[in-house]
Amino acid sequence: MTRYRAADLIDFTTALFAAAGMDGDKPATVAEILVEADLMGHDTHGLALAPNYLKEIGTGAMRATGEPEVLSDHKAALLWDARRLSGVWITAKAIDIACERARDYGVATVSVRESHHIACLAAYLTRATNRGQVVVIASSDPAVASVAPFGGLDPVFTPDPFAVGIPTTRDPILIDMSSSITTNGMAGRLNANGEHFPGKWAQDHAGNATNDPRILFEEPKGSLLPTGGHDHGHKGYGMALVVESLSQGLSGDKRAPQPGYWGAAIFIQIFEPEAFAGRAVFTDATSELVSLCHASRPAVGVEKVRLPGERALARKHDAMRHGLALYPGIIDKLAPWAETFGVAMPATI
């Protein structure tokens, strides 16, 4: 199995985005977040996105230079128009600013509209938890509809991810989930490979549950099901309404079909535990929750009870020690871009 050093992949990807025209710290930030996603095992939302990001820069769909426009600044509440800049860079920048402001105000929120795609939410969480702060991220794409509301046939939502990073005295709890059973990225990969979902995660145009991702790409198109499926999909439906209200409603964005548009409305909120009962009290409580979950007797067929993020952090630890094995085909799709820009391919180990 071919493996790469994470640092080499970051340097390689940084060079690609810099050659494509990204300015300032954008290339390095985007590279770090994409590689972080692969290190954590979220390989549909890591370097697999880089070729399309580079293509979007070339067409002008993603702006490579500049800063977001500040539309409103109330210190603890900030609104940006991202002006089609990289959503990965925008999200990382927004988290860093919100973390700084939360130290002063206890809670800080950044709302963003007109951003490009933001990749894997889990990959950002430790930017806040490493500072002892709680982070909440929600995102939606106002121009894309692939998920049906519970009880409906016509898609209204995107998968609408929602992520939370919670510090403890040890590893953080890293929650990354979507309002739909699966993502568009996974559906696209399975469809391209002629594979099926593990369960009936979608429905065809008539509302019949299916495990075939082709119904999302062939007319008449079907839709992804909200988390819970036909049985308990009201839960995912409710979550989607929350995510879209926070990401689009607060930012002043709204649903409007725009063919070929790939973007995001973003909600980011940081909590500073020191402004409440204190960090020590907070992490004592969250660590006790972790201990109680670990101590719960595992069900039949379950080795042990895990906390969200544990498997991802274990994968990252292993990849940092032994090298990162990318999902098949990812490096091959980056090779033409490396040739175009004259960037050396990363060494294997």
Question: In CATH, what number is assigned to the domain containing residue 209?
Answer: 3.30.60.50
Which distant-in-sequence residues (6+ apart) come within 8 Å of 75 by Cβ? 101, 104, 105
Give the tokens for residue 222.
Answer: 């079907």
Is residue 187 situated within a structural domain?
Answer: yes
Average pLDDT over the chain reads 97
* Per-residue model confidence as pLDDT tens digits over 36-49: 999 999 999 999 99
Give the DSSP letter string of 103-145.
HHHSEEEEEEEEEE----GGGGTHHHHTTT-EEEEEEE-TT--
Is residue 217 situated within a structural domain?
Answer: yes
- The pLDDT of residue 260 is above 80: no
Is residue 210 situated within a structural domain?
Answer: yes
- Amino acid (one-letter) located at 323: G
- The pLDDT of residue 257 is above 90: no
* Per-residue model confidence as pLDDT tens digits over 60-105: 999 999 999 999 999 999 999 999 999 999 999 999 999 999 999 9
The pTM (predicted TM-score) of the whole model is 0.96
Q: Residue 192 is part of which domain span? A: 182-224
Question: What's CA 309's distance to the chain center, in Å?
Answer: 14
Domain count, the chain: 1
Is residue 211 situated within a structural domain?
Answer: yes
Is residue 153 situated within a structural domain?
Answer: no
Output the pLDDT for position 259: 61
Calculate mean pLDDT across residues 257-285: 92
Output the pLDDT for position 261: 74
- H or E segment at 72? strand 69-73
- The pLDDT of residue 1 is above 90: no
